[in-house]
Structure formats: structure tokens, C-alpha cells
Structure 1
Amino acid sequence: MAEKFNKTAINFSYVEKLDILIQSFQDRFSEFKKVKPLLDIFSNPFTISVENAPESMQLEIIDIQNDQDLRNKFNERDLLNFYRCIDKNSYKELRINALKCASLFGSTYICEQTFSILNNNKTKNRNRLANESLEAVLRVATSKFEPNIKKIVSTMQCHASN
């Protein structure tokens, strides 16, 4: 009888934790529902219905949808580079919206990328990496710096062995 009681207590514990988890997901997704119209504008300002946009952005959306040069740039570039190339004064609200939307995901992506690099380099074969070495590996792996290999090789001196 005591065994049945313990299983019941454990099951209630799981149910409580699952209820908390479900509520947490509902809270997070309800936040996304609030910003979905702004994310839609960010993802493609050329297909959004002007009537569904906030009033502060409606004129800018009309202007951008009628600008063929910007439409071409949108098709040629990635999203962030597109928003970097539009005029700061003419499309102020769209740029502000783009910065807000990009910041929602930027830090998460960088965090996940760094964690993935850390996991790949801290494998069972490389488990003896010192923290200093691992820090250097992370710095090199997450850097956007492109080394000039030809220049580095050309400055090296050959050493003859004895």
C-alpha cells in the first residue's frame, strides 16, 4: 500500500511540473502573438498589408513597396544587410522595428553558436583542454576575422633540420 502511495505522490509531482511547463510555453507564445505583426513587417515589408501595420509605419511601408530599387536590394541581400542599406531618415520607423526584431534573435543565436562550438571542441578526445586553450578556440571560432593565409605563408622563413 505504501508503494502505491509513493507512486501517486511522484505522479502528482510530474503533473505539477508539466502544468508549470505548459503555462511557461503559453506565456512565451502569447508574447510572440503580440509582436507577430511587427515580425511580419520585418521579414518582408513588401508583402505586408498596409492596413494591418501600425499607423506610424504605414506611410513608410507604402513608400518602400513602391520603390523598385529597394525591392531589388531586398531580393539580392540578406535581411539585415537590406535594412542597413535603406535610408535612415526616410524609413526611420522601419529601421527601428528591424533593430528591435533582430535583437530578439541575435543574442540567442550567438549564445547557441558559441555553446555548439564549445560542445564540438570539448569532446571525449579533447577533454584535457585547459580553460585558456578552450577560450582561445572559442575566440577563433566565433571571430569574423579572415586571416590572409598567403601573406602569413610568404613571411615565414624556412628552417633546415640538422
Structure 2
Amino acid sequence: MYEAIEAFRSKLHLLERDIHGRRLHFPHLREHCEKNKMQEDPAMKDFVSRLAENFKERFESSPKLSADILLFVRQPFSVSTDGQWTADAKKLVPSIDEAALQMEILAMGTSDLLKAQHKDALVSDFWINVVPQARFKNTRDIAMLLLTMFPSTYICESAFSSMNAIKSQDRNRLSDSHLGQCLRIATTEYKPDIRKVASFRHSHFSH
């Protein structure tokens, strides 16, 4: 997610420069201006500039991550043990022990088992389910921070997917109240004890 944000930020800056120049990314605008011998509307330039500024403000509080820290989370066996990135990681996660972090990276780099498991696992699965917390606490702390940096995004996307599944074409008359109740059931992590609930219910037999 962080990489997607940075990529979009760079694209906005590229578009901002391009609309002032050759307009390579605005072929229809370029064709229209050349055909009618006119300059583009200043509002178009202003729109892209305001969009870039708005995007910057929304993510201004997000930490700046070095390329090596991102590489470490994706490819933990490819980074240097004593590079500048460990100092950057310490600034990002002040609670980690930088000296212990370097030792953990060395230990991880010599583990053939972890290397083999890393090849077959997703990045998130590798750090959550494969790397043991007891041996690699500092490395896991860094990875988990990056993997959970935008948790609300996942929650929103998950809820929206559930809503689309619930409010299908055949259930288009579902009220907002009922939709809310269905969403609560679909997104909650609570697991009811059905047997216990059922034990409090008594059947009414006809006489």
C-alpha cells in the first residue's frame, strides 16, 4: 500500500509537469489545443495541482520509508546487515534494539529453512506465520509495522466487498437497517457459541 501511495504521488507530479509542457499524457487535450490553436484552460492546470496538494496533505503524517526498509520486508535475505537502513529502521520503530536487529538479520541470512519457506510464502504469511517471534522480535516489529500501516483501508475494502455480496440484484429492496445488521454479522470476528445459545431456547410443544 505504501508503495502504491508513493507511486501515485510521483504520477501526480509527472502529470502536473506534463500539463504545463508537452502534454504527452493528455493526448486529447493536446490534439484539441493544436487543432483549435488555443492554450489549455488554466483551470485544468489548477485541478491537477490541487489534486497533488490534497493528496500530499492526506498522507503528510505517514512516515517516509527508505527503499532499503521496503526491500527488507520483501526480500529480507538481500539487505546489508550494517547499512544505513538499520539506523532508519530505529528512527521508524524507536523500540527496537538496532544491535540485536543486525544480529537477527545475520541469523536469518544463514537459515536455509527460512530461505526455502520464503520462496513459497506470501510476504505477509512469511512474517506472520513463518518467522518466529522469539528469535526475530526486532525484524518482525519492523515488518509488522509496514504490513499494518494502513489497516483501515483493508477494513473498508472488506466491508464494501461484503456489502456488494449482501445487497445483490435479487435483494435490491433490502433496507438500510437490515443491511447494517447483515454487515455487522459479515464483518465481525465474534464467534457465537451456537450450542450454548440453543440450550437457553425451549421448544413449545402443542398439547
- TM-score bracket, normalised by the shorter chain, equals 0.5 to 0.7
- Using the alignment, how far apart are the partners of 2:147 and 2:184 within structure 1? 23
- Using the alignment, how far apart are the partners of 2:181 and 2:139 within structure 1? 38
* Structure 1 residue 54, shift from structure 2 partner: 0.8
Q: What is aligned with 2:69?
A: 38
CA shift digits 1:37-78 (9 cap, x unpaired):
322211221223433531523332221111111122223333
Note the 1:82-101 alignment, pairs <5 A.
Answer: 82-84=126-128, 85-101=130-146
* Residue pair 2:133, 2:140 contacting (<8 A) in 1 also: yes
SS in structure 2 opposite 1:45? coil
Q: What is aligned with 1:19?
A: 49
RMSD: 3.4
User: Equivalent of 2:85, from 44, 48, 53?
Assistant: 53
Note the 1:1-162 alignment, pairs <5 A.
Answer: 11-25=41-55, 28=59, 34-50=65-81, 51=83, 53-55=85-87, 56=98, 57-84=101-128, 85-122=130-167, 125-142=170-187
Closer/same/farther in 2, CA of residues 83 and 108 from structure 1, 3 Å limit: same
- Provide the TM-score with structure 2 as the length reference: 0.51
- Using the alignment, how far apart are the partners of 1:86 and 1:22 within structure 2? 39
Q: What is aligned with 2:91?
A: none
SS in structure 1 opposite 2:149? helix
- Provide the TM-score with structure 1 as the length reference: 0.62
* Structure 1 residue 130, shift from structure 2 partner: 1.9
SS in structure 1 opposite 2:46? helix
SS in structure 1 opposite 2:65? helix
Opposite residue 19 of structure 1, the aligned amino acid is: S
Opposite residue 53 of structure 1, the aligned amino acid is: W
CA shift digits 1:77-105 (9 cap, x unpaired):
33333223323242121111112111114
State the identity %: 26
- How many pairs were matched up? 136
Ranges in structure 1 where 5+ consecutive residues have no aligned partner: 1-10, 147-162
Of the structure 1 ranges 38-47 and 80-89, higher mean CA displacement relative to structure 2 is found in: 80-89
* Structure 1 residue 12, shift from structure 2 partner: 4.9
Opposite residue 20 of structure 1, the aligned amino acid is: R
Ranges in structure 2 where 5+ consecutive residues have no aligned partner: 1-40, 88-97, 192-207
